Amino acid sequence: VPISFNMDSKVDAATLNTVNAFAWPHGGKTLRRRIIQGGLIRAVSESWYPASDDDYGLLLEDDIEVSPYYYLWVKYALLAYRYDPTVSLPELSSISLYTPRLVEVTKERPRWNATAFFGATKHGANTPYLHQLPCSWGAVFFPKHWREFYAYMAARFTEDAKTNPVQIPRSRTNGWQASWKKFLIDMMYLRGYVSLYPNFPNQTSFSTNHMEPGAHISAKDNKLKHDKGDFEVPLVADDFAPLLPSGKMPPASKLPVLNLFNQPVSIKGLKAAGAKLRQDVLSCVATQLVSVDHVTGLPKNCTAF
């Protein structure tokens, strides 16, 4: 398991000394530093590109802390939903380490508790779930979908959010500036993709965000006030298997699905909403989605779903 540190041009001496001395016994260590300032979008989206279909990228920003059990969660999820030959879940594009406490894509940004929400359903309080929202606070991204994201970004990147052709109804993400995640959300919405999320009591997760000042948090042009209690969550500190339904990952067909706004829906329902928008890089009819070449990530044609 190699590790890579990606640093922008204005990185300070303390950070350089820290990453230089950082010991990683699990694989190779790579340091990359930009000469020209790239900004947050390039820093994240250009930090990794898959070398094969079995190459996965765990992206961690500099204020993220992970649980000692994060690797077990990732490995378990990959074996259950990616490498089990009896499972077909091509819509799964990433595995989140983090469980959110807010519905961040709406103007009101209400609090949301996955355990309470699913506890009132047949799925059970601590079921993992599929969500149309990708996670930027600790997540493993899948190679085929990341290549697709690269191609999508190349076709759709704009400095001004107002000129972006994708406008998701009722979504606060339409106005997000300097956000790589905004483009990934757009792609996932248009094509019906999902991320797998953990779901344990008190949003205990495999990663947490310490909310250090940066491009978004406490930025001068960001009018939003961020309460640490809305984002900083406890880390899993023990074997999590007993908390899972029947002590194991549910079958893929039993995983509940949420749309971008945390509303229950089916995978087909997600695809229908994306197709209805008709704002992808190819002009498809409302019963079709863009199909891509999984080696290049480039769009091929429109395909019925």
d(CA 142, CA 150): 12
Question: How confident is the model at residue 159, as a pLDDT?
Answer: 76
Question: How confident is the model at residue 202, as a pLDDT?
Answer: 96
- Specify whether 257 is located in the same domain as 291: yes
- Specify whether 102 is located in the same domain as 168: yes
Question: How confident is the model at residue 177, as a pLDDT?
Answer: 80
- Specify whether 143 is located in the same domain as 273: yes
Q: Could you give the maximum distance between any two Cα atoms of the chain, in Å?
A: 54
- Specify whether 187 is located in the same domain as 160: yes
Residue span of the structural domain in which 112 resides: 52-304
Rounded average pLDDT per 10-residue block, the chain, 305 residues: 94 96 96 91 92 97 95 98 97 98 94 96 97 97 98 88 88 89 97 98 97 60 71 97 96 97 98 97 97 97 97
- Specify whether 22 is located in the same domain as 67: no
- Specify whether 234 is located in the same domain as 89: yes
pLDDT, tens digit (0-9, with 9 covering 90-100), for 189-245: 999 999 999 999 999 999 999 988 765 455 455 555 678 889 999 999 999 999 999
DSSP letter, residue 109: -
Q: Quick one: which of 79, 68, 70, 62 has its CA closest to 98?
A: 70
In a domain, 232, yes or no: yes
In a domain, 191, yes or no: yes
Strand-pair partners of 32: 6
Question: How confident is the model at residue 39, as a pLDDT?
Answer: 87
d(CA 136, CA 182): 10
In a domain, 167, yes or no: yes
Domain count, the chain: 2
